[in-house]
Structure 1
């Protein structure tokens, strides 16, 4: 009983603080929010894949195989064998970290086409109610733009609210790579928002890459918009716990592990983490190994550690929050698994506190001309001497 009461108080604190800054919109979100089911299992088709011996050998287990094993397996196949797996198991190949990039792009294109065909049939199915048909129509509308020429979909999973990871630039040749990890309300429908592009991961990634190209036009860069985990909806119960972040961290680590096999940048990919995405990055950071990874946190509710030292020795932490960001009014504490701990921008945390001058509000960090966007690009490029404080 005491724990449930505390949970309600914490949720109320989040919502009330947001209301003070957002004229009540967050309250409606909080009231309507539902707890989400995390995705921790391989995509559809994995069971059949595991039992397939048509190539005369076992296929790597999507649930347990590391990226080196996956990369070696695909390298041993003929082009015809690779094509066979892409056609028969597009969701598996498209989400298999360590598989060749171009195969994943092709596989996910097939998976998206299949999802659209299924959703179109459901949208006109008289046996379904109006709400179900409307949901199917929305899925068609959200998925179809991913098939536009030039789109490079690194991951696609139609389960839950829809998961997607998209590449901007040439991952295979990029010398600097960065991954944008978005926060709450991130899903297929919000990945690439035409009405508010800089509030979706795709728009954020495009903005950073454009700034990189402005600052260093001769440097080959790539950005990954990583809408590939089940995020909280609104400011409900999931936003004040780390349950979804704990489930998401292994997915992020597998992505980074796969990039070690399929890319050759000059430094580990930088992580640019926004809002609840900083909680995800905080869960993943202590398990990073090797060269130092730049970890940029913005608009953070906390990272479940007392200081940057708790994130391990393999990350360099940069943090920012603009004065108009309502997240600064959220209690920075953790009690019984509720809340996310210390403020990463506080002097005692130990992160490098960088400027976000010009950014306004929780979603303003990627706006053109802001110092925050400039800093994200400078850090991702490794031009640390140009970072503004």
Structure 2
């Protein structure tokens, strides 16, 4: 069995000259007024696809998993709802949103979208993504209510999103890959296609 993993971690503000860094500018702290620019994320999805496109599978045992951390998962969402992402599984880690309302809207299908997010006390990025509206469209009546975007915007760690929620032991937004942690063990089981070994939240 083979696997392909692409992880975008530690995104920083970049320039349009570099496709990877242009995508990173979608983060709310990426400049340009301080707000999340979903247009930049969508515009860069093709570049992202080209960057992480796995090689054609050599046999039916090939297994492709793509991991998106933080705003990397937002770009992954933009790439995945275009219908062109060739992956068996995707994992959204500490995700502020994937620009869709439900996991079923992504290319891998609902059963193969996975999520890990620490508690809001330890990782505030998912909540920040809801405030920024990165969790897909909201109804007009939700937007009219106080904090409407927060309540109407689904992120992968929300039960209503429909992802497979994995347990984790992360203590911060960057702690999901600590050696010998439950977080990384669960990710490894998805990568290897050992779904029965994944501990779910």
Kindly report which structure 2 residues correspond to 1:1-389, keeping only aligned pairs within 5 A, or say none.
Answer: 175-182=2-9, 184-185=11-12, 228-230=20-22, 231-232=24-25, 235=29, 236=31, 237=33, 240-257=36-53, 259-260=55-56, 264=58, 266-288=61-83, 293-312=88-107, 314=109, 316-323=112-119, 324-330=122-128, 332=130, 339-341=133-135, 342-357=154-169, 359-389=170-200
Q: Contact between 1:276 and 1:301, CA under 8 Å: does it hold in 2? A: yes
Q: Which has the larger radius of gyration?
A: 1
1:348-371 alpha-carbon deviations (Å, 9 max, x no partner): 1100110112x1111111111221
Indicate the RMSD between aligned Cα atoms, in angstroms: 2.8
Question: Paired residues, what number?
Answer: 170
Superposition TM-score, scaled by structure 1 size = 0.39
1:222-274 alpha-carbon deviations (Å, 9 max, x no partner): xxxxx9342127724466121332133112322454622xx637334211101
Q: Contact between 1:292 and 1:314, CA under 8 Å: does it hold in 2? A: no
Q: Contact between 2:85 and 2:107, CA under 8 Å: does it hold in 1? A: no
Q: Distance in 2 between matches of 1:379 and 1:344?
A: 16
Q: Distance in 1 between matches of 2:97 and 2:182?
A: 22
Judging changes above 3 Å, is the alpha-carbon distance between structure 1 residues 239 and 280 closer, same or farther for their aligned structure 2 residues? farther
Q: Which has the higher helix share?
A: 1
Q: Distance in 2 between matches of 1:279 and 1:302?
A: 6
Q: Distance in 2 between matches of 1:242 and 1:369?
A: 35
Judging changes above 3 Å, is the alpha-carbon distance between structure 1 residues 299 and 239 closer, same or farther for their aligned structure 2 residues? farther
Gaps of 5+ in 2: 136-153
Q: Contact between 1:291 and 1:314, CA under 8 Å: does it hold in 2? A: no
Match of 1:116 in 2: none
Gaps of 5+ in 1: 1-173, 188-226
Q: Contact between 2:73 and 2:95, CA under 8 Å: does it hold in 1? A: yes
